[in-house]
Chains A and B, each alone.
Chain A
Amino acid sequence: DTGVSQDPRHKITKRGQNVTFRCDPISEHNRLYWYRQTLGQGPEFLTYFQNEAQLEKSRLLSDRFSAERPKGSFSTLEIQRTEQGDSAMYLCASSFAGARNTEAFFGQGTRLTVV
């Protein structure tokens, strides 16, 4: 296992289309996070899972956004009816929370461009 993997790396879509991104965390990590990063800004927290349970969602996550982690392993982030303002880098991270928490390890991100 070489780290957090995200697919696709780049996505160009027309406004109004739906898109789905996938994140495969480090295998033994039970926590998985989604962040969004726009140009010139730091990543902003969107949501996180512990195993399959979605424990927190940011107010940034409008009802057009949905995230799942059905078996506590990989996760998907879907954006419905995309808008130009959704153009950003979507980053996934994972960590282990237990007797000794690890830091979060990030994937290379999915860059979304809405035209």
Chain B
Amino acid sequence: AQKVTQAQTEISVVEKEDVTLDCVYETRDTTYYLFWYKQPPSGELVFLIRRNSFDEQNEISGRYSWNFQKSTSSFNFTITASQVVDSAVYFCALSEYNTDKLIFGTGTRLQVFP
């Protein structure tokens, strides 16, 4: 069965601190996608990144970076120099290659204080 675990329920940091959100997944598929979505208070899920299971290169986009390690089934997300606007719930998700059906973790609520 497929499963995504986000062990951190809530994280609080002060602005400009770096923060890492953990994600561990389980799947028997050899081909799959991993995602991160942001859900601000407005409720809409905002897509941040998609990685396929063959691409273990780390990725950096501005203040965001992602570390994909197949050996530990982890796909962690780091925000560098956090800002108040980063406050949201962040979801890690896994999908089967053919259906795009998403299996979400329970989310990590990030609060960034000024």
Contacts and interface: CB of A to CB of B under 8 A. Distances in A.
Interface of A: 31, 33, 35, 40-45, 48, 55-56, 89, 91, 93, 95, 97, 101, 103-109, 111
B62 interface: no
Contacts of B35: 103
Contacts of B91: 42-43
Interface stretch (B42-50, B53-61, B76-84): B42-50
Contact of B44 (A41, A103, A106): A106
Contacts of B102: 33, 35, 43, 45, 93, 104
Given A104-B47, A105-B47, A42 B42 contact: no
A42 B107 contact: yes
Given A103-B50, A108-B44, A41 B100 contact: no
B106 A104 contact: no
A103 B50 CA distance: 7
B46 to A, nearest CB: 8
Pick the 9 closest A-B CB pairs, nearest first.
A42-B104, A106-B45, A108-B44, A103-B50, A109-B43, A43-B104, A103-B47, A45-B101, A42-B106
Nearest to B33: A103
A44 to B, nearest CB: 7
Contacts of A44: 104
